[in-house]
Structure 1
Amino acid sequence: LDSIDGKHARRTQSSTPLGELFDHGLDSWATSIFVLSFFSVCSRDNGKTGVSVYTMYIYLSIVLFNFMCSHWEKYNTGVLFLPWGYDISQVVLIAAYLLTGAVGVEVWQKPFLFGYYITDALVILLIGFSLFLSFPQTLYNIHRAHLKKTLKNDSLYEGLLPLVSPLLLFILLTVWVVLSPGNILAKQPRLFLWMVGVAFSNVIVSMFV
């Protein structure tokens, strides 16, 4: 139902900023839950197997960055275009849960190809997806709207302003991870990653309304 509520609201002309805030605001929070649940499926790195907490921070940052790009595009063009299907993410996670339940967490802890683990391949795929598909598509759609003179914001300043807060948040959180005297991410990974998701959701909702 998550994919059809917006279409129904537009068709019946009952779409409101409040409805969008609830819908996409909850999505911004749920995105973090998806990543954290995958962390639990793979299990934490114990020195030999599992996923490093730093790898999971990279996962989460990339996913949230893509979410930000899509809604920044919508802020400027008025159209939300997702280069991936939200439902596909849920299907992939369900498949990961079923696979783990069937064969155990060991499937994520064995070399997959050329000595690399599946989780390593996922990092490469996520980075490649962001750099060569998601972000370029966002820039292209904004540029096309500029050529058609359908942009919602007239100035470059107004168009870029919503990026300041989330990008500053990413920078400060990464500095905290790297320079934390107590190694906060290693000691409290789930608590820290939850905090990242909540803080991001709190900041990103300003793009919705």
Structure 2
Amino acid sequence: MGYIPQHALANLKNYKYKGVDKSLLSNYVLNPFWTWFVTLWPTWVAPNTITLSGLSIVLFNFATLVYYDPTYLAQKGGATGPPQWVYFTWGIGLFLYQTFDAIDGKQARRTGMAGPLGEMFDHGCDAINTTLEVILASQALNLGRSWWTVASQIATLANFYLTTWEEYHTGQLYLGVFSGPVEGILMIVSIFIITGIYGNFAGPTFWDQKFLTVTKLEHVEFIAKRVPNVALNESFMIFGAFALAFNIITSYTNVYRSRRATGKSVFKPLLYLLPFPASALLQILWMNHPMLSNSNILHSFAFVPFLCAWGFQFSHQVGRMILAHVTGQPLPWWDAMWIWSIVGAVDANLPWLMGRAPVIQHSPENTEKFVFVYLAVVLVTYARFVILVIGDITNYLGIACLTVRKKDARGVWRTAQPESSTKKI
């Protein structure tokens, strides 16, 4: 059984990508570079192969964190920091990911492989990358295993969810003058590079310095009396909160205009924002409770695996939203993987709910085991989703996923021809 109903398969042939990018940096600096860079790739390389190559670089970066900085995973109190050069590889890797992610659409036009599968594949890799970069950036900012890292996860996933929700209701991907895929990624690249530069002196603790002190603004009496002198990493979190608020307003404004232009309800789409805060609240309730401070996830070896499981669960959630977009189906309200979050949250809060110890997570060891089982289940479920969706789309459209091939009228595989009519930013 696949994820796409039989009646919705026909909508795959009607799907056309639409996108708007208003970033000055993207249009006048990066896009000329991307246009040149894509010419370095042979036309026999499939666009999805380029996308997957970019994600592989990020996975390698994440592997270096696990290898060089095991204390981030195993000890209470945060990390000691990997070697200085590792931060530069994270910055280079993320920049390459952004570049590969930007040129896969251009390669799709060159090879005649543009379509709904590329949209699904591209967004799926982006969703996975989102959580991995939250973990890497939080380490580089010296946030460690803290609620700041959790807040970063929520804000970053919320931005991704907003973009997906907006694209579904407007029919196009909208990137404003400041967006996560462009300026946001370059900002994180800068963080990695700065942490690498100051690694010989302070490493990630560089970001614990006070913002007004570093900028010398503490000597300006008007500012010093009115602006709190918070740490650099906390300042970045505050900036992220304002960015999220701005994106919420911008996304709804675009949806409002689109719905109003077509005579549809401008308030109904707001209901489809509710699944994200509901799922995020479940994760927060599961992660910590004052009565379980000795075995909660925040201070255990399970913290990073939990964030990874949360990220893959989110990837499944938004993957189904993107699938609904390309196949013309209603947005999903419910995700079956939330059952694990519900069980975890209820069990962790049994002391508050029923005045008794948790049934499953009654010790740090059991909490860790349960989280790792959760991660395994989420990985298998998401892998099943990816395999089935790819199978449904490739079989129906007669295309390959990682090679530049299509089936002709006789069912024979042939190299795809460029389609100049297909447009994608």
Q: TM-score normalised by the shorter chain: which range applies? A: 0.7 to 0.9
Given that 1:3 and 1:87 are in contact with CA atoms closer than 8 Å, whether structure 2 keeps it comes out as no
**Distance across 1 between alignment mates of 2:196 and 2:185:** 16
**Distance across 1 between alignment mates of 2:263 and 2:171:** 9
Given that 2:288 and 2:298 are in contact with CA atoms closer than 8 Å, whether structure 1 keeps it comes out as no
| Equivalent residue, structure 1, for 2:158 | 65
Which of 174, 185, 188 is matched with 2:298 structurally?
A: 185
Shift in alpha-carbon separation, 1:177–1:74, aligned structure 2, 3 A: same
Shift in alpha-carbon separation, 1:147–1:206, aligned structure 2, 3 A: same
Q: Which has the larger radius of gyration?
A: 2
**Distance across 2 between alignment mates of 1:148 and 1:15:** 28
Give CA-to-partner distance per residue, 1:30-54, whole Å, 9 cap, x none.
011111101221335xxxxxx5511
Higher relative contact order (CA 8 A, sep 6+): 1
- Is it true that 1:116 corresponds to 2:230 in the alignment? yes
* Ranges of 4+ aligned residues in structure 1 off by more than 4 Å: 7-14, 154-157
| Equivalent residue, structure 1, for 2:170 | 77
**Distance across 2 between alignment mates of 1:25 and 1:167:** 20
| Equivalent residue, structure 1, for 2:187 | 92
- Is it true that 1:56 corresponds to 2:149 in the alignment? yes
Given that 1:162 and 1:206 are in contact with CA atoms closer than 8 Å, whether structure 2 keeps it comes out as no
| Equivalent residue, structure 2, for 1:171 | 281
| Equivalent residue, structure 2, for 1:48 | none
Deviation at 1:58, TM superposition (A): 0.2
Equivalent residues in 2 for 1:135-154, closer than 5 Å: 135-149=248-262
Given that 1:74 and 1:81 are in contact with CA atoms closer than 8 Å, whether structure 2 keeps it comes out as yes
1:59 alignment partner, SS class: helix
**Distance across 2 between alignment mates of 1:206 and 1:23:** 14
Identity of aligned residues (%): 27
| Equivalent residue, structure 2, for 1:34 | 133
Aligned length: 199
Q: Which amino acid aligns with 2:243?
A: F
| Equivalent residue, structure 1, for 2:74 | none
Given that 2:170 and 2:255 are in contact with CA atoms closer than 8 Å, whether structure 1 keeps it comes out as yes
**Distance across 2 between alignment mates of 1:95 and 1:198:** 26
**Distance across 2 between alignment mates of 1:160 and 1:9:** 33
| Equivalent residue, structure 1, for 2:50 | none
**Distance across 2 between alignment mates of 1:155 and 1:14:** 35
Higher helix share: 1
Q: Which amino acid aligns with 1:87?
A: V
- Is it true that 1:126 corresponds to 2:225 in the alignment? no
Flag structure 2 segments of 5+ consecutive residues without an equivalent: 1-99, 213-227, 324-425
Q: Which amino acid aligns with 1:98?
A: I
1:81 alignment partner, SS class: strand
Which of 4, 16, 25 is matched with 2:124 structurally?
A: 25
Deviation at 1:164, TM superposition (A): 4.5
- Is it true that 1:208 corresponds to 2:322 in the alignment? yes
**Distance across 2 between alignment mates of 1:106 and 1:179:** 28
